Amino acid sequence: MNEDNLVAVLGVGVAYIGALLPVAIIFIVFSFQAKERKEKYNAMIEVSKNIEDPAVVEDLLASFKEDKKSPRDYRKDGVTTAFTGIGLFLFGIFFFGDILKGVGALVFTIGIGLLIAGYLYPRESDEINKAVEDFEKR
């Protein structure tokens, strides 16, 4: 095989591999997620077969729900974002100039907005209320 042909074949092969690699990665991630979900539900079925009390089964089903989200703390996010903006602004002053100073000021104002939103909008307490109600049932 000629050296030019080998380089051409390798060039095309690398392009195909580069184009198909993200598809392969996505396929692998989804297959592992499906396998994990299947194993979790099989474990839940096995455990529920051995439980007599229906309240415990309901608690088990509630614990397997994937909608568990902790309430967002805008104050913490705001402080973090504001100080990131200050850091970018200072980095722009000392190294990169006006463009990074503008980006830092923008990020800082977004952080201040999040901080204000944290004080205006109270944290959601649905999960806390549900935990207290579940404790009072027992």
| Arithmetic mean of pLDDT over the chain | 81
pLDDT bin (cut points 50, 70, 90) of residue 138 is low
Per-residue pLDDT, 61: 72
Per-residue pLDDT, 37: 85
19-70 pLDDT, tens digit each: 888 899 999 999 999 998 888 888 877 877 777 777 777 777 777 676 556 6
Per-residue pLDDT, 136: 74
DSSP one-letter string for 90-134:
HHIIIII-HHHHHHHHHHHHHHHHHHHHHHHSPPP-HHHHHHHHH
Number of Cβ within a 10 Å radius of residue 101: 16
pLDDT bin (cut points 50, 70, 90) of residue 128 is low
Per-residue pLDDT, 122: 61
Per-residue pLDDT, 126: 59
> Residues, the chain, total?
138
Under 8 Å between Cβ of 64 and 43: no
